[in-house]
Structure 1
Amino acid sequence: MATTTTTTSSSPSSAAQPPPLPIIDSHIHLYPSSELSTLAWLTPDHPLASQHSVTEFRAATCTSPSQSLSGFILVEADRANSSSQDWTFPLQEIAWMRRLATGTPREGEGHAPADAPLCLGLVPWAPLDRGPAELERYLAAAEREAGPEAWPKVKGFRYLLQDKPARVALADEFVEGLKVLGRRGFVFEVGVDQHRRGKAQLEEVVEMIDRAHDGVEEEEKVVFVLNHLCKPDLTIINQTDPSFIAWRTAMFTLSKCHRTYMKLSGCFSELPDKLKERSAEDIFAAILPWLAVVVAAFGPSRIMFGSDWPVCTVGVGEGAWRKWHKVVDMVCDLAGLSLEDKAMLWSGTAKQAYKIE
């Protein structure tokens, strides 16, 4: 009688699972209720006119067996500065950042000593428009305010260009200030808005980068991190629209400089109100043309996940972080990213751009 040999195969659940992919949220804003009056944009009826702290951020994020939140980059929240001439509130923000980064909260600020390791990088405001000498003076004041423990976590600076007069970033003083940041090893965070300011603002960014790198040794060229896909108009539906074509052209032009990175963030703010309320799948389908351009232009090694929390919640609700996370997860799947590429997008690119150990 023939003997039947039974072979036992391993079930998928018994197979070795890959280690969890860490997530670095490369773009969040936090501020305590005690300093709401220092925010330049805040009005009493603004939907974000309340404290947004690590406690709320932790509650907003999701974790799963395959992914875990390992930290965030805290970006300045646009404190009032009287056209770069009054540094009181920006330096106050750095003092608050220091308390968060060093685990020394004041009562009621919404973070605890145990939260300090989550803060992987700080990006305060800086007066780039005031010229290199004034910028150097500000950097010295910022270092004093941050103190020796938190200063190493300051990875770069931001000066929002989205609401500034045209060609501010092309002034000699601004360009020389960018070169100062490059020499000091700091990133420049680029916040522009094609949706409301048109293609001229994107063209300005292209020229700004060219001038900031012109004649500069490679290792001293400032790194640029572009926020929120440069805020394209996601209300349009026709890819032959001049706005989409101008944005797409700018993305491929900007990506030619290897010292530029793009944050996959901020899209909810540019959506039609009705679309914000739809599922992650519907949003993904609606903005796929823009997402595809960014992936094609920059590749996963120069794209990083960012939520733009809590701004992303406006019109979307408390589940906004998880909804955007799901959209980005679908980007990874549709692009057929390898495990290594996914690791770059979720955390590796942020580590590389901001020099996080």
Structure 2
Amino acid sequence: MSSTAPHPIIDSHIHLFPTSELTSLSWYTPDHPLGSQHSLEEYRAAIAPTPDSKTPAPSVSGFIFVETDRNTNPSTKDFAGPLQEIAWLRRIVTGQPKPGEGHTADDARLCLGIVPFAPLPLGAEALKAYLAQAEEVAGPETWAKVKGFRYLLQDKENGTALGDGFVEGLKVLGEKGFVFEVGIDQHRRGRVQLEEVVEMIDRAHDGVAEDEKVVFVLNHLCKPDLTILNQTDPSFIAWRTAMFTLSKCRKTYIKLSGLFSELPDKLKERSAEDIFSAILPWLAVVVAAFGPARIMFGSDWPVCTVGVGKEDAWKKWHRVVDMVCDLAGLSEEDQAMLWAGTAREAYKLDG
């Protein structure tokens, strides 16, 4: 059963962006549900204890920032948007906010790790040049927080992750000790994305020394379709098969995150208990396949708030994951891994 005293939490997946840089986001429109500032001021409010709550408040010791899909132009090697994001993160890490950006100097302690964008498809040499540029923009203190990179695959053409340049880029990340964050979408793109990730991992590790093999972190359970009604659906079977296949690689971790976005709209409005019951088959597969030593808690804030509510979403997802711990009968040690230890291990966090 879950402990009465809350475990310290590392939130392994959050996004942040200030009002001043909204137009650099590739998905931004003025009427987008996330089309306003979401910085640390708003995040702190989301994780704050609910007044008069009878349950112990979650104890968040820090977070991993994941890139927010800024505008890029790979054909011209124009990466001003992602580099601007790194510059903004530098102001967070070094405690030097600009007025109105939604964070204070004290917030620096919360940023435990950063996963920026990187142009993997361009190949090894172009990637190395980009990393050098990113390191210069970040400065030593912020660069020390950079633990990996993401190139969002969910909206890219089939085959992107299997290109020679992409695989070469993954090997560069492994050599340098960086993680690769895997963002795919089975719900909208089908089983082909699952199959490509399995092959991508095999190719990235082929012929590479064990200590230089890149670590993969799967975002949001690879976004399964949570609108289906039964476990005999081909979509569920394909996803389940992929989870067990991917789990065979010990350098692959998975985030228990992002599932609110895959729910039917009506279910998003229900209680954490109702949501837990509805998605239990998927949760059970992940626990069985990966085990708590390779599963990490992530909120996917603020994306998790869409259709759920700014005040309730983070706490509701925390409650769902707490019920996972109960159902699986996790020991105190295993719970400590799921809430923080796995993230600490996968991202090689200090302390």
Q: TM-score, normalised by structure 1?
A: 0.94
Q: 2:134, 2:74 → 1: CA distance?
A: 18
Equivalent residue number for residue 98 of structure 2: 106
What one-letter code is carried by the residue in structure 1 that aligns with 2:13?
H
Q: 2:149 is aligned with what amino acid? A: F
1:276-291 alignment, distance < 5 Å: 276-291=268-283
SS at match of 2:60: strand
* Kept after mapping to 1: 8 A contact 2:4/2:56: no
1:197 partnered with 2:183: no
Q: Of 159, 180, 187, which residue of structure 1 is paired with 2:179?
A: 187
Q: Verify: 1:57 aligned to 2:38, yes or no.
A: no
After TM superposition, list the pairs within 5 Å mapping 1:119-158 onto structure 2. Answer: 119-158=111-150
One of 19, 22, 30 as aligned partner of 1:44: 30
Please give the alpha-carbon distance, in whole angstroms, between the structure 2 residues aligned to 1:331 and 1:149: 36
- The Cα shift of 1:19 comes to 6.6
Cα offset, 1:62, TM superposition: 4.3
Percentage of pairs with the same residue: 75
Structure 2 regions of 5+ residues with no counterpart?
Answer: 50-54
Would you say the 8 A contact 1:21–1:66 is kept in 2? no
Q: Which string of whole-angstrom CA distances, capped at 9 and with x for unpartnered residues, describes residues 187-227 of structure 1?
A: 00000000000001000000000000000000000000000
Instruction: Supply the distance in 1 between the matched residues of 2:165 and 2:27 (Cα, whole angstroms).
Output: 26
Pair 1:216 & 2:208 matched: yes
Q: Does 1:80 find its partner at 2:35? A: no
Q: Take 1:296 and 1:103, find their aligned partners in 2: how far apart are those partners?
A: 41
Alignment-derived partner of residue 335 in structure 2: 342
Quote the Cα distance in structure 2 between the aligned partners of 1:67 and 1:258: 29
Residues paired across the two proteins, number: 341
The answer for unaligned runs of 5 or more in structure 1 is 1-16
| Per-residue deviation, 1:78 | 0.3
Native 8 Å contact 2:181 2:218 kept in 1: yes
Aligned match for 2:296, one of 291, 296, 304: 304
1:34 and 2:20 correspond: yes
SS in 1 for 2:237: helix
Partner-residue secondary structure (3-state), 1:146: helix
Q: Look up the equivalent residue of 2:69 and give its one-letter code.
A: D
Query: AA paired with 2:18?
Result: P
Answer whether contact 2:185 2:193 (CA < 8 A) is retained. Answer: yes
SS at match of 1:153: coil
CA offset at residue 102 of structure 1?
1.4
When the two chains are superposed, the root-mean-square deviation of aligned CA atoms in Å is 1.2
For 1:327, give the aligned amino acid.
V
Does residue 261 (structure 1) correspond to residue 261 (structure 2)? The answer is no
Q: Which has the larger radius of gyration?
A: 1
Contact kept? 1:179, 1:221, Cα under 8 Å:
yes
Measured after TM superposition, the shift of residue 21 of structure 1 is 1.5
How far off is 1:83 after superposition?
3.6
Match of 2:317 in 1: 324
1:284 Cα offset (Å): 0.1
State the partner residue of 1:352.
Answer: 345
